[in-house]
């Protein structure tokens, strides 16, 4: 789901703001125990969604983010929810006002759905707080989610909201974006108002968007950016072919040269070749700088922390008002103690602080001359020279510090995944593009062009059953190839997981999502593919027998153009219906499901009653009844296929929602089932 698709779905009446909010609340309740990202839910979110539905019914969209659920890093103030900065020293504290960015989001129609975890006081990069603990990477439960905006990164990757807000002092928007296969934008210092955000370093702090697509991030930036040195809209920079004729410098010193850097280099180096294929002229840039030197000898973050944090806390009359107060309270995570103690001995009046600012100024001038001399539009490098660290470790070799000490804008976008046999998809790797001040439009063109020409994002595998290995099969629209070797490999992976499962019903819901999350294939190809998979998978699954060798062979042969008979097709879909009912505790039989599929049950009212009578999951009762009624009532091919796509994306772990989407798609393709 994206912002444009959501608004299109509103227009078509596929679902409402209230339904979307309830869906995300259900996902958070079902899945966040696996990644530990949400600090607090907005208790007024549903009420606000209802208000926006009433506004929409009368006047249409109230703003560019109408009804969009936003996840807010919990160092951004909200007048109606506590702002903790991840620290127990601020637990329950209400500032009584909105941060500037929060206010702009609300004015644009967004709904603040939840506040998310961060590394306490945004101090480092592993997203550990005393208020919630550590956030886990949804792609690999043994790794961190990056930081400090790791709660935003993990939650958006897990689809707990449409867009998220992070803050960035050194790496903190782009690190979790890289680690969670997202787009994260660090804007030019001063472009977005940081008022009402718990301060760290006034020289380097920024606030910016994080999203699953470049477009969603840009639409959010368009709302939160100040007027002044910005275009009327950043959205116009979302241009197809935006890479053509761009000159981009490859910053060679930001690529690691050791063994631990190879997993990242093996993902990023091929991406550079793709840039060239898309029309970019790459220029090798050799500068005597590296990220370690910039962090330890140029960045001023530690010199400003004591002064600016105390200034913020005192002005806001917070329960603690200085580093000394925080330390004395004992209400903080021990992992930030050394940083607090170090910062407490530093300040902006020191000679070293002035020297660092002067050094940053010299570097800024040097790079401006480089950009002019080489006619560069941007620099490119891996955001992180080695993979995001394991839990218990510390982040290392992150390159985002360059843009931070310069105050320049940069964007991280998904580049691909480093293979790891212990993870379903692999470990995300992000690529970073950096430009001169206020040249966000050029960066957006580049990032969007890269995303469109090199689609790299896959969804993480999460399951509603905490004892179940996540088994969703995620495939991006642009890269979906049912005959590819990669696709067969993923099917084998799923077959192995299923063979180990004890509770087939609980495994079915996430499986349904992956199997039917793409309705954009040509109808003649997709109908064969759908029928073959329905028959092969669900007749076996619903019988309760999952021989690994048989299922593995069937999966490997999937999508090879086999044309099943009409009977096979009907049997497979009725088995899917039965399995979906079982996954949600619906009391029904195979015979009832088969009768429903065959049309033996009268249409419309009887079908609605069937679902309402048997469903036990409160959220889905009315929704499924309405969908099924609309399914049998509608004759519009275009509306049905569009609804199918949206419903399957919405039903990420819902067997019933996805099943409804399947039915829409089948009718839209004029399948033999009807």
* Catalytically annotated residues: 73, 148, 172
CA distance 476 to 491: 15
Beta bridge partners of 418: 427
CA distance 355 to 135: 36
CB atoms under 10 Å from CB of 352, counted, come to 12
CA distance 273 to 625: 50
- Residues constituting the chain: 674
Q: What does the angle CA 487 – CA 388 – CA 367 come to, to the nearest 5 degrees? A: 110
Cβ–Cβ under 8 Å, residues 67 and 111: yes
CA distance 333 to 88: 8
CA distance 278 to 272: 10
DSSP string, 155-218: HHHTTSSSEEEEEESSSTTHHHHHHTT-EEEEPPTTTB--TTB--S-TTT-EEEEEESSHHHHH
CA distance 161 to 159: 5
Question: Which is nearest to 542 in space by CA: 586, 574, 510?
Answer: 574
CA atoms within 13 A of residue 544's CA, in its CB half-sphere: 4
Place of tokens 């109808």: 523
483, 488, 494, 499: CA torsion to nearest 10: 120
CA distance 123 to 360: 21
Question: Which is nearest to 347 in space by CA: 312, 307, 387, 384?
Answer: 307
- Angle between helices 3-12 and 637-650 in degrees, nearest 10: 130
Peptide linkage before 148 cis (omega within 30 of 0)? yes
Cβ–Cβ under 8 Å, residues 21 and 15: no
CA distance 394 to 408: 26
Structure tokens at 576: 């899917």
127, 133, 134, 138: CA torsion to nearest 10: -120
The answer for residues whose C-beta is within 8 angstroms of residue 153's C-beta and 6 or more apart is 145, 146, 164, 166, 175, 176, 177, 179, 180, 182, 184, 210
CB atoms under 10 Å from CB of 500, counted, come to 11
- Angle between helices 214-224 and 3-12 in degrees, nearest 10: 90
Cβ–Cβ under 8 Å, residues 197 and 207: yes
């Amino acid at each position: 789901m994206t912002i444009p698709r959501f608004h299109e779905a509103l227009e078509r009446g596929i679902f409402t703001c209230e339904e979307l909010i309830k869906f995300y609340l259900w996902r958070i309740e079902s899945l966040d125990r696996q990644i530990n990202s949400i600090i607090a839910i907005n208790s007024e979110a549903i009420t606000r969604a209802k208000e926006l539905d009433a506004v929409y019914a009368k006047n249409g969209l109230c703003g560019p983010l109408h009804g969009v659920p936003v996840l807010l890093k919990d160092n951004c103030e909200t007048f109606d929810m506590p702002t903790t900065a991840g620290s127990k020293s601020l637990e329950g504290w209400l500032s009584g006002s909105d941060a500037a960015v929060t206010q702009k989001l609300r004015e644009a129609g967004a709904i603040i759905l939840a506040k998310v975890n961060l590394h306490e006081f945004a101090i480092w990069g592993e997203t550990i707080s005393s208020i919630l603990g550590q956030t886990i990477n949804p792609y690999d439960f043994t790794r961190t989610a990056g930081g400090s905006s790791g709660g935003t990164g993990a939650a958006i990757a897990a689809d707990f909201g449409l867009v998220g807000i992070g803050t960035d002092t050194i790496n903190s928007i782009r690190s979790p974006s890289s680690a969670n296969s997202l787009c994260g934008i660090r804007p030019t210092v001063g472009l977005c108002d940081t008022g009402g955000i718990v301060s760290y370093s006034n020289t380097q702090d920024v606030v910016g968007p994080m999203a699953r697509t470049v477009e969603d991030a840009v639409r959010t930036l368009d709302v939160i950016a100040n007027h002044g040195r910005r275009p009327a809209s950043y959205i116009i920079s979302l241009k197809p072919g935006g890479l053509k004729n761009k000159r981009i410098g490859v910053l060679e010193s930001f690529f690691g040269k050791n063994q631990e850097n190879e997993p990242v280099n093996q993902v990023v180096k091929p991406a550079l070749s793709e840039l060239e294929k898309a029309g970019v002229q790459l220029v090798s840039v050799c500068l005597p700088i590296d990220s370690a030197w910039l962090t330890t000898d140029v960045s001023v973050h530690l010199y400003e922390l004591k002064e600016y944090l105390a200034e913020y806390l005192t002005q806001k009359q917070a329960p603690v008002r200085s580093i000394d107060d925080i330390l004395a309270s004992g209400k903080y995570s021990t992992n930030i103690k050394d940083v607090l103690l170090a910062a407490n001995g530093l300040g902006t009046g020191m000679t070293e602080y002035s020297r660092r600012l002067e050094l940053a100024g010299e570097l800024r001038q040097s790079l401006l001359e480089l950009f002019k001399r080489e006619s560069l539009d941007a620099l490119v490098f891996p955001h992180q020279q080695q993979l995001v660290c394991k839990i218990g470790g510390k982040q290392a070799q992150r390159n985002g510090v360059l843009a931070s000490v310069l105050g320049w804008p940069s964007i991280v976008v998904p580049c691909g995944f480093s293979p790891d046999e212990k993870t379903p998809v692999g470990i995300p790797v992000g690529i970073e593009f950096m430009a001169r001040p206020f040249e966000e439009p050029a960066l957006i063109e580049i990032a969007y062009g890269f995303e469109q020409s090199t689609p790299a994002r896959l969804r993480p595998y999460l399951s509603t059953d905490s004892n179940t290995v996540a088994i969703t099969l995620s495939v991006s629209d642009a890269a979906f190839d049912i005959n590819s070797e990669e696709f067969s490999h993923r099917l084998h992976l799923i077959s192995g997981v299923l063979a180990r499962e004890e509770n087939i019903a609980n495994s079915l819901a996430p499986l349904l999502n992956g199997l039917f999350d793409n309705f954009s294939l040509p109808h003649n190809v997709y109908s064969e593919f759908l029928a073959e998979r329905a028959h092969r998978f669900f007749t076996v699954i619903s019988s309760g027998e999952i021989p690994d060798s048989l299922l593995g062979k069937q999966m490997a042969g999937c999508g090879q153009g086999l044309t099943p008979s009409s009977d096979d097709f009907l049997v497979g879909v009725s088995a899917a219906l039965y399995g979906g009912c079982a996954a949600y505790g619906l009391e029904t039989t195979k015979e009832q499901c088969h009768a429903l599929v065959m049309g033996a049950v009268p249409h419309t009212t009887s079908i609605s009653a069937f679902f309402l009578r048997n469903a036990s999951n409160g959220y889905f009762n009315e929704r499924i009844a309405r969908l099924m009624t609309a399914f049998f009532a509608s004759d519009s091919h275009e509306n049905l296929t569009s609804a199918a796509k949206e419903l399957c994306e919405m039903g990420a772990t819902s067997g019933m929602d996805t099943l409804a989407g399947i039915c829409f798609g089948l009718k839209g393709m004029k399948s033999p089932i009807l």
